[in-house]
Amino acid sequence: MASENAHNPELEGTDSTSENTDRVLASYRRELATAPLAAETVRTYTSKVRAYLIWLAATDLDGDPLTDPRTRDWAVRDYRTHLIAVAKRAPTTINNALAAIDDFYTRRGLGPAAADRLALPRTAPRALEHKPALRWLRAIQAHPATRDPVLALLPFYTRLRIAETVRLDLDDVRLSARKGLLRVHGKGDKLREVPIHPQLRTELQLWLDERPDWPCAATEPALLLNHRGARLTTRGASTVFHTIADHVALDDDITAHTGRHTFATTLIRGGTDLIVVADLLGHQRLESVRAYTQPTAADRAKAVNLLPTDR
């Protein structure tokens, strides 16, 4: 077992602990740079592995977790316990960290660690109920910028991920007098077409009318620009979401994921066939969509409140 009061000599060497951690991480980054992964995945894996390496550097283990498979397994299991008991991370966050660590070890030639994932609760992804969804839409409509409502409505009306949203180019948008289609570059560079909701179509047209007045608009192919005229980044897009969400008094934070989950949940609860929903979401397996049929926390609370009381 590990003791967090000592240091891992395998990460210390003759240099400082931080220098050796940076060296190992830099090597991993070079591996990721040549991998066919989305930019968001690369950033997530790098962040998760960096946190793991920092923890390793402050942990005493009987062996070298970077070269010995048995020590690797113990280290990853102990780190999983650390994330549960000390860091108090959610099961999904912990499983994501384990996936990144498995990728790290696989690229080092050791293969994934023998560490089980945490069982996830059978609950539908968090989506906005009807009234909170309306408040969110009204906050978007009240936002003064023309570009930002497009960004905020894309996950809500098309279930695009942040990375997919900022990857959109002008020629991915096809608008006619009454209809519209989005060509979406999904995971693994798979293309799909998504119908454009009338509300999103209106906001898109307003942005397309204003976009030529932005810097570099004539030479930059990106649909969404930052104020310097370059393609909007995922970080910049997340900032926009937080800015709009600050004006909505809801119990939980609103993110692009919330909009995506609301899209899928609304369609399924409205009676849309799972095959159609899977097609719109870009999923080839129906199992990926069935999570949205699970009860939400609000469903469980509503069910419990049906029980009688005697007062």
Q: Output the pLDDT for position 280.
A: 74
Domain boundary among 55, 75, 107: 107
Give how far Cα 242 sits from Cα of 110, 213, 237, 274, Å. Answer: 40, 25, 9, 31
Distance (Å, rounded) from C-alpha 60 to C-alpha 301? Answer: 45
Structural domain contains residue 171: yes
Structural domain contains residue 309: no
Judgement on whether residues 180 and 278 belong to the same structural domain of the protein:
yes
- Exposure string (b/e) for 37-48, b if CB count within 10 Å is 16 or more? bbeebeebbbeb
Q: Output the pLDDT for position 201.
A: 92
Structural domain contains residue 199: yes
3-state secondary structure 174-186: EECCCCEEEEEEC
Distance (Å, rounded) from C-alpha 21 to C-alpha 36? Answer: 25
Based on C-alpha coordinates, what's the Rg of the chain? 23
Structural domain contains residue 20: yes
pLDDT tens-digit series, residues 33-86: 998 887 878 899 999 999 999 999 988 888 899 999 999 999 999 999 999 999
Extract the tokens encoding 6.
Answer: 């000592």
Q: Output the pLDDT for position 177.
A: 76
Judgement on whether residues 137 and 279 belong to the same structural domain of the protein:
yes
Q: Is 225 helix (H, G, I), strand (E, B) or coil?
A: strand
Give me the sheet containing 173-175, strands edge to edge: 173-175, 180-185, 191-195
Structural domain contains residue 266: yes
What is the total count of domains within the chain?
2
Domain CATH number, residue 35: 1.10.150.130
Q: Which of 294, 224, 295, 227 is nearest to 256 (CA)?
A: 224
Higher pLDDT: 119 or 204? It is 204
Indicate whether 10 pLDDT > 70: no
Judgement on whether residues 99 and 137 belong to the same structural domain of the protein:
no
Structural domain contains residue 18: yes
Look up the domain containing 30 and give its range: 9-107
Structural domain contains residue 112: no
Q: Output the pLDDT for position 52.
A: 96
Active site residues: 161, 187, 257, 260, 283, 292
Q: Is 122 helix (H, G, I), strand (E, B) or coil?
A: coil
Judgement on whether residues 80 and 207 belong to the same structural domain of the protein:
no
Q: Output the pLDDT for position 245.
A: 79
Distance (Å, rounded) from C-alpha 60 to C-alpha 7? Answer: 5
Q: Output the pLDDT for position 249.
A: 63
Task: Please classify residue 214 by burial: count the beta carbons closer than 10 Å to its beta carbon, then call 0-12 exposed, 13-18 middle and 19+ buried.
Answer: middle
**For residues 267 and 283, is the Cβ–Cβ distance under 8 A?**
no
Angle value at C-alpha 310, between 305 and 311, nearest 5 degrees: 105
Top-confidence range, 126-135, 173-182, 243-252: 173-182
Sequence-ordered list of residues with C-beta below 8 angstroms from that of 215, at least 6 positions apart, any chain: 225, 227, 228, 229
Judgement on whether residues 138 and 264 belong to the same structural domain of the protein:
yes
Indicate whether 252 pLDDT > 70: no
The position carrying tokens 């609950």 is 123
Domain CATH number, residue 154: 1.10.443.10
pLDDT tens-digit series, residues 253-276: 677 777 777 877 777 878 888 888
Distance (Å, rounded) from C-alpha 250 to C-alpha 246? Answer: 9
Q: Is 222 helix (H, G, I), strand (E, B) or coil?
A: strand
Helix (H) or strand (E) holding 267: helix 256-269
Distance (Å, rounded) from C-alpha 29 to C-alpha 88? Answer: 27
Judgement on whether residues 86 and 144 belong to the same structural domain of the protein:
no
Judgement on whether residues 267 and 212 belong to the same structural domain of the protein:
yes
Judgement on whether residues 246 and 290 belong to the same structural domain of the protein:
yes
Q: How confident is the model at residue 121 (pLDDT cuts 50, 70, 90)?
A: low
Judgement on whether residues 159 and 79 belong to the same structural domain of the protein:
no
Judgement on whether residues 199 and 103 belong to the same structural domain of the protein:
no
Angle value at C-alpha 71, between 68 and 75, nearest 5 degrees: 130
Indicate whether 14 pLDDT > 60: no
Q: What is the DSSP string of 59-76?
A: -B-SS-TTT-HHHHHHHH
